[in-house]
Chains A and B, each alone.
Chain A
Amino acid sequence: MSSLPLNRQQQGIRRTLWWLLLMLAGSVAFTVALVPLYDVFCELTGINGKGVNSARVLQSTGIDQQRNIEVQMITRTAAGMDWHFSATLSHKAVHPGEIHQMWVRMQNLGNTTGRARAVPSLSPAEASNYFLKLECFCFDDQQLAAGESLEVPVVFQIRSDLPEDLHRLTLAYTLYPQTGP
């Protein structure tokens, strides 16, 4: 029993070590994957109220004339934004299934050309998957020269299978300055 068991133990430790390193690599890979996984999870469940940040396909689910949903629009500018940002209409009653648009107005009050992006948030978050944006100013950066102004729409449709207990959706957009490429 002089060298054989020692070797066997050494081999065992080495084998365990490989397994553990593999596990560790798995944990690391999982960690790296968590961020995209979270985004997918959010899109599927709408848990953070961001909704989908690209155009959705038009759904022909029929228009539910019986239900009136109030869509409310809130605009905010982030700290350090010398832009004016407002909704031309602060709320609108819509039927699920209809296609509507709401407009916002942006103006660069500063002295230099600037770029900004509106970050959307929908409340209640449960509605995210039922609120389809066909087109939105929030999909892209907006660039404005000093003093220039712009009116841009969000075109949306509320799916007619919106849960019964939802009557009012609040769309909030916060305008953040964009730097970098």
Chain B
Amino acid sequence: MTGVWLNRIWHAVLWIPVVFFSHPLLAKNLYGDSNLNLPVGVTHMSREVYSLHMIIFWICVVIAVVVFGVMFWSLIRYRKSKGAKAAHFHENTLVEILWTAIPLVILVVMAIPATATLQKIYDTSEAEMDVMITGYQWRWHYEYLGQDVSFFSNLATPPEQIDGREQKGENYLLEVDQPLVLPVDTKVRLLLTSNDVIHSWWVPQLAVKKDAIPGFVNENWTRIDEPGIYRGQCTELCGRLHGFMPVTVKAVSKEDYQIWLAEQKQQAVEKAAGNEREWTLPDLMAQGETVYNTYCAACHMVNGQGIPPAFPALAGSPLTTKAEGRATHIELVLYGKAGTAMAAFGSTLSAADLAAVITYERNAFGNNTGDVVQPAEIKQQLKPTE
């Protein structure tokens, strides 16, 4: 065990100086997606941001070398122990003007490319498609505007890996059940908002980071050059599971994107069929467990004990065990509870999933009410308007 750590320490120590000697143009070839520096990324903007980053980085390195060079040279040269005698000067107008003016010039040199890049980042015009990104505690919701396709994207890393009962996978904490699928070579406008607290959507490879703020819509854009899977995370503290809401973008060719889109629409039809039929209790329990672990377990915990007072227990609660609680239980799941973390799932989960999860909550964790909630009942409650 210590051997592994020592090895890792040694590995990390060895890499530290490397970053100082890496040439920006070689960086990508040498290290690929090195974990010492910003990724170069896969969009025109991310490459521009990367080169801006390297320019200012090297300017800062040069400044540091000059300032620290003079400083350490003075420290060594003018040691009292070597008999140095102090001079008496204590001001010099010319020098003082110079070291005010030179930094100003350097700053202007930095500001010019920064301004140009920023202007491009702000140009969201001529986007070919729009995706609405909504932050939830603690998952992302993607809606392809005008396409009738929308879904939640949840952390897919199993809890066993997080608490160390299983070996951690390669994409530990950066993997989701359903990634945001985008076509390459397409300017995509990203609209961001939030359902609860402030989140921030970040994919380093795209150089896109923007806050998702409740009640407001922010916009950004990206145009991905290469197919691939690009991973990021929420970067604004958003509560308990802030560290557990990754962003995963899967870029595919335009043709594959159309195929995927058609599949999504087909799946929506199949889901709708599930809303029409009668389900058995075991079927509902099986489906309910999946839905519960994805959407509910983060707060109410896998065992239904919750974390009171913020997240009430479902196990043994009058709400989930008593007949009188049934209507309120359904209502809370469908419409959420204003002013709390309890979100409304009525518009985001299918009637079948809602029926399954409510049935599961009324029968799991020792609640054993034997209650069955059918999709038809949920549909009745939701009364589709169009």
Contacts and interface: CB of A to CB of B under 8 A. Distances in A.
A80 B216 contact: no
Interface stretch (A3-11, A13-21, A70-78, A129-137): A70-78
Interface string A67-106: 0000010101111111010100011000000000000010
Contact of B127 (A119, A168, A174): A168
B219 A123 contact: yes
B254 to A, nearest CB: 21
A80 B339 contact: yes
Contacts of A81: 335-336, 338, 344
A170 B126 contact: no
B77 interface: no
A109 B337 contact: no
Interface string B98-118: 000000000000000000000
Contacts of A45: none
A72 B130 contact: yes
A167 B386 CA distance: 31
Given A80-B337, A81-B335, A84-B385, A49 B195 contact: no
A49 B216 contact: yes
A84 B342 CA distance: 18
Nearest to B124: A124
A142 interface: no
A82 B132 contact: no
Contacts of A110: 335
B217 A49 contact: yes
Interface string A46-74: 00110000000000000000000000101
Q: Taking each of A48, A82, A105, which has the highest tally of chain B beta carbons within 10 Å of its own beta carbon?
A: A82
B167 interface: no
A149 interface: yes
A123 B218 contact: yes
Nearest to A124: B219
A167 B215 CA distance: 23
A123 B334 CA distance: 30
Interface residues of B, number: 39
A166 interface: yes
B338 A177 contact: yes
Given A165-B125, A166-B125, A82 B217 contact: no
B331 A121 contact: no
Given A79-B336, A79-B344, A109 B123 contact: no
Interface string B132-145: 10100000000001
A100 B340 CA distance: 38
A121 B215 CA distance: 7
A86 to B, nearest CB: 7
A119 B217 CA distance: 11
A165 B383 CA distance: 43
B62 to A, nearest CB: 37
B358 interface: no
A167 B125 CA distance: 6
Contacts of B331: 82
A93 B144 CA distance: 20
Nearest to A126: B122
A167 B385 contact: no
A107 interface: yes
Nearest to B219: A123
Given A86-B386, A170-B217, A74 B338 contact: no
A138 B275 CA distance: 35
10 contacts: A49-B216, A78-B195, A78-B214, A79-B195, A81-B344, A82-B331, A109-B382, A121-B193, A167-B125, A177-B338
In order of increasing CB-CB distance, the 8 nearest A-B pairs are A80-B338, A82-B335, A172-B217, A80-B336, A79-B336, A123-B217, A121-B217, A121-B216
